[in-house]
Amino acid sequence: MTNFADRARPPRLTGRLLFAAEAGRDLRTTGAIAPSGSKLAHALIEPVRRSVRPTLSILEVGSGTGALTRALATCMGPTDTLTCVEKNPRLVEYLRRQVDTDTSLRVLGDRITVREADVVEGVMSEKYHAIVVGLPFANFTASETRAICHALDDALVPGGTLTYFSYLGASIVDNFTGDRHSRRRRHSAQALAEFRTGFRQSRRTVWANVPPAHAWTLTRPAEAHLPNGRASRPPAS
């Protein structure tokens, strides 16, 4: 239930305070002390914005307090659907309230679904045209990163796009966090580099984010298409 203090604050401020609190609980899985900035969010959702498909099935992984969710809502078509997956139950509760009360999300109605789940635990039997990832890969081990990439790979249709971010200056942070974090970050980066080899890839640097970040876009090669122009393996409805 939303308390008086939450009602008295703007929703975005409440979300930032909650995100910071959760970062205090577990910075490794939260990955930052604040949600992605608007410039980074817009870079990550660009494939959705420029898509020419008549209907998109979109997956957002690591939704947090909804920074990427709101950005996605601004460019969704009238028949597009959005599934948000978040592991943290407190962030899930907050985002579900926002879906019911935030005008930019409420207009989507039942076309937006928020799931409390770990992306690796087989929750994604559906297929998606676009996947937007808000997870802090640099904080994961190589085996964790590979498991996440495998799950995302299974969920993406031929011709689909996957976007994620990586922060700049990670090697500088290593000087303060020690060898263990440095090894984990390097091994996770290597696992991601191996994953990217199966895609057409591009990278955009977002200097206006805090901290600055790379926004990666991976595009899966399309399979043979049927005469009607639809992919031979469409996502499940």
In the chain, domain spans? 35-219
pLDDT at 228: 40
Q: What is the pLDDT of residues 86-125, one digit of tens each?
A: 999 999 999 999 999 999 999 999 999 999 999 888 656 7
Q: What is the pTM of this model?
A: 0.80
182 band by pLDDT with thresholds 50, 70 and 90:
confident
CATH for 35-219 is: 3.40.50.150
Q: Give the pairing of strands 57-61 and 128-133.
A: parallel
82, 50, 77: which is closest to 66 by C-alpha?
A: 82
Q: What is the pLDDT of residues 130-181, one digit of tens each?
A: 999 999 898 899 999 999 999 999 999 999 999 999 988 655 554 445 566 6
Cis peptide, bond prior to residue 211, ω within 30 of zero: yes
CB of 202 within 8 A of CB of 124?
no
